[in-house]
Chains A and B, each alone.
Chain A
């Protein structure tokens, strides 16, 4: 209030403020440094050094007005030392160090502008490098969340339920792999671009899905992880506005995230889409998702697999009640998806849509052809869908056995309970 001087910030408060600055600035900082030194491992170390300097200084001095510029200046100081001390100090590095030094002394505005280039290409280069196909998928995920998501190693480890030491190892190995493979710090062009964009989108959707329906652990969802994936997707869409599938994935994630709070009941149990209370679906995210889908469509050409999945999600979102779902449109969208990106999982979802649109018998036919092809063995959704269709056809004994089989296959404790309950409901006399 007026008249009272502000209370001095406690050191805990300053540390939380530094965490916040780090989360906002670290990606740009690392990206800018990586362009200068050409190696994201070294860039990350330099950025970390700048963070340590901030942790030392800011509790005394307060958070500076432009914390991003402060961190960049601190990192540049360190970069000069590192470049000078490098054993294989070639002419290029020497020149770079000299330029940096001149820039530092004279405050050369051009150089500063080049180094501080706030957005765009550097961040894209960082994303494409962290998601480079030379890396295993789990390494891409770890690097992306750390370098661009601004998450700490313990945060990433917690998100994926692996020990911190395992994750730290994974990151060290990934950095080494990139460096040994001499992966250039650049945005791919031409024919390579499409495959590389897919590689980035795959990482983002994997992160999202791990938050949306955790494959392990006792929590059905981890919303923070969904929001991290969404944040990175929106970022990518800003920098690659002409890539239809980027908007497609953002649309898919926005619409799926709109259901996050409706997917779990008060005791943490999962609620299936058609049973959800639609008044809890987040209309703001649905609107954002549909707008992103419109952007994907406006770019022309055929919708890609992510955009088609977003269109399916939008079809659910636009039905006021589960009964009003346009299942024929849904079946048609799954048909298109099955042709574009055929997979047993898509086929299984198509079976659900066809079952709803044209009767359980028609759906069961598709499921049974999957079973006889031995597709999706060990995947709990297959017996779960089959059980549901059987139950609708009144074949209760078979349904109970399939629900029980699905329960024995899932790794998620909450989901197992739901499946066992459905198995029990199909046993004994019809209620």
Chain B
């Protein structure tokens, strides 16, 4: 099973465009990343720039509309993620529990859907359009 651990840093929705984690947090995070690698579970990881430099594309009435960040109404925004491969949901949660997060941060653990999850007719449709 694959899980994505989404990091929701406290206050990141209002972070300055050039906001960077301080050196101490960075060092603790590097150590944690190393432990994921050494356990052989880490597939990918990335950090994301603050939303103030991003954009939202919304679809009112099904039509795309672009809004530049920051997003006044946002309460929680994603600041980065890990993708890990584990045998169970509990194992993914246990890894999330070990992350060295500062006060108030949240990690959301979500399973990544696999192709096999979908019923055969959906899979067939996906294959057909991919090969069209």
The chain A residues found within 8 Å of chain B, CB to CB, are 16-17, 19-21, 23-24, 67, 118-119, 224, 227-228, 230-235, 238-239, 261, 266-267, 277, 279-280, 284-285, 288
CB-CB contacts of B25-40 with A at 8 A, as 1s and 0s?
0000000000101111
- Assembly CA distance A349 to B124 (angstroms): 31
* One of B9-17, B46-54, B66-74, B113-121 at the interface: B113-121
Q: Is B90 an interface residue (CB 8 A)?
A: yes
**A267 closest partner in B (C-beta):** B120
- Assembly CA distance A280 to B38 (angstroms): 28
User: What A residues does B83 contact at CB under 8 A?
Assistant: 284
User: What A residues does B124 contact at CB under 8 A?
Assistant: 266
**B124 closest partner in A (C-beta):** A266
Residue from B87, B90, B114, B123 within 8 A of A266 (CB atoms): B123
- Assembly CA distance A267 to B42 (angstroms): 31
Q: Is B101 an interface residue (CB 8 A)?
A: no
- Assembly CA distance A228 to B37 (angstroms): 14
CB interface residues, B 85-132, toward A, < 8 Å: 85-88, 90-91, 93-95, 114-116, 120, 123-124, 127, 130-131
Determine if A21 and B39 form an interchain contact, defined as CB atoms under 8 angstroms apart. Answer: no
- Assembly CA distance A230 to B86 (angstroms): 11
Determine if A280 and B93 form an interchain contact, defined as CB atoms under 8 angstroms apart. Answer: no
Interface of B is mostly: helix
**CB pairs A–B below 8 angstroms (30 shown):** A16-B90, A17-B90, A19-B90, A19-B91, A20-B86, A20-B88, A20-B93, A20-B94, A23-B86, A23-B87, A23-B91, A24-B94, A119-B35, A227-B85, A231-B41, A231-B85, A234-B40, A235-B38, A239-B38, A261-B115, A261-B116, A266-B120, A266-B124, A267-B120, A277-B130, A277-B131, A279-B131, A280-B130, A284-B83, A288-B43
User: What A residues does B41 contact at CB under 8 A?
Assistant: 231
**A266 closest partner in B (C-beta):** B120
- Assembly CA distance A119 to B32 (angstroms): 13
Determine if B94 and A21 form an interchain contact, defined as CB atoms under 8 angstroms apart. Answer: yes
User: When A24-B95, A280-B115 are in contact, do A233 and B88 touch as well, CB less than 8 Å?
Assistant: no
Q: Is B44 an interface residue (CB 8 A)?
A: yes
Q: Report B84 CB to chain A, min CB distance, Å.
A: 10
- Assembly CA distance A19 to B94 (angstroms): 10
A238, A261, A266, A279 — most chain B CB neighbours (10 Å): A266
Residue from A19, A277, A280 within 8 A of B88 (CB atoms): A19
7 closest A-B pairs by CB: A231-B40, A234-B40, A20-B90, A266-B120, A279-B130, A235-B40, A20-B91
Q: Report A149 CB to chain B, min CB distance, Å.
A: 10
User: What B residues does A224 contact at CB under 8 A?
Assistant: 87
User: What B residues does A238 contact at CB under 8 A?
Assistant: 37-38, 40
